[in-house]
Amino acid sequence: MANPPSIPSPCNSFIATTQVFVEACIPTRISATSCGNPRRFPPGAVKMATTNPESAPSAVDVQLNAAAAAVEAGDSATALQIYHDLAELNNATAQFNIGVMCEGLEPDLADAVRWYRLAADNGSAMAQYNLGLMYDQGRGVEQDNKQALELFSRAAGLGHAAAQTNLGVMYDSGQGVPQDVEKAAEMFQRAAAQGNAVAQCNLASMYFHGIGVEQNFEQALTLYAMSADQGNATAQAKVDEIFEVLEAAARDGADGAAT
């Protein structure tokens, strides 16, 4: 495989999907109930909700699960009351979930920003990611690449794969930061190792073209296939293109040998 097949330029895909509720309670619609402005809460340690089935749920976990059940049942008022009570105790999960509810209630984006900021400052990677998206998109705040970069960096440092992927895109394109394709590849590698399909596709393209990493067509194909197996249409199209080119090359080689 001396020459690379002719494949389109890198994916460079950015993840723009908002992180949703902790405890996987995702409502299709939330009734128009005011989520309220955050009060000033004292700084302190934050206990995140556990998802370990082998450990007994704490009192906070029970309340978080009750709020999640209320959201699922369409009772946003009850959920908000529970979340507000926990938020007063500086619980980052509750603060984050209030932010999610605010973001789903136009025009409460400014409230969503405030709640996400509280949760982000209390160490919630999901809040840091969501707030980074809002700065990237200019929703509820003035668009600010540097703020988006800083928030994605914080979430990435806590292992948030989507934040790592978006950070990689920003380094790759020089968005809000000097372009650094090696750093971009590092971020994609970290997210790809966690199974992030977009990162796998982006990293595959970098391996294919030798951008930020040593060119390696086999590694590129492996990563494209891994991403495609998760339903990434761009990666699947690239896998198909690579095989088509390889098959054409094999036919040409066979024809040349025959003559």
Query: Which CATH number is 150's domain given?
Result: 1.25.40.10
Over the chain, what is the mean pLDDT? 81
Mark whether 62 and 111 lie in a shared domain.
yes
Nearest residue to 133 (alpha-carbon basis) of 100, 161, 104, 166: 166
Better-scored residue on pLDDT, 45 or 246: 246
Residue 43 in any domain: the answer is no
46 assigned to some structural domain: no
| pLDDT for the residue numbered 252 | 73
Q: What are phi and psi of 64, to 5 degrees?
A: -65, -40
Q: Please state the rounded mean pLDDT for residues 211-232.
A: 94
Least confident piece of the model among 20-24, 132-136, 168-172, 222-226? 20-24
The percentage of the chain sitting over the pLDDT mark of 90, rounded to a whole number, equals 60
Residue with tokens 């460079």: 12
Residues 149 and 204 both lie in one domain: no
Confirm whether pTM is higher than 0.75: yes
Same domain, yes or no: 119 and 228 = no
Count the Cβ atoms, other than its own, within 10 Å of residue 28: 7
> Is residue 6 included in any domain, yes or no?
no
Same domain, 121 and 246: no
pLDDT of residue 249: 74
What gap in Å lies between CA 132 and CA 146, rounded to an integer?
9
Same domain, yes or no, for 26 and 121? yes
d(CA 101, CA 25): 11
Task: Return the minimum-mean-pLDDT range out of 69-73, 112-116, 148-152.
Answer: 69-73
Per-residue pLDDT, averaged over 218-232, amounts to 94
Q: Is residue 118 within 8 Å of residue 100, measured between CB atoms?
A: no
Q: How far is CA 40 from the centre of its chain?
A: 28
Q: Quick one: pLDDT band at residue 257, thresholds 50, 70, 90?
A: low
Q: Say what the pLDDT of residue 8 is.
A: 38
Q: Which of 12-26, 166-180, 206-220 has the lowest mean pLDDT?
A: 12-26
Question: Which one of 160, 180, 203 terminates a domain?
Answer: 160
Within its chain, how far is the Cα of 100 from the centroid? 15
Question: What is the span of the domain harbouring residue 116?
Answer: 19-38+57-160
For residues 46 and 86, the answer to whether their CB atoms sit within 8 Å is no
Average pLDDT over residues 52-80: 84
Both 203 and 148 in one domain: the answer is no
Q: Are residues 98 and 141 in the same domain?
A: yes
Domain-embedded: residue 52: no
Angstrom distance (rounded) from CA 96 to CA 83: 9
Which of the pair, 159 or 255, is modelled with greater confidence? 159
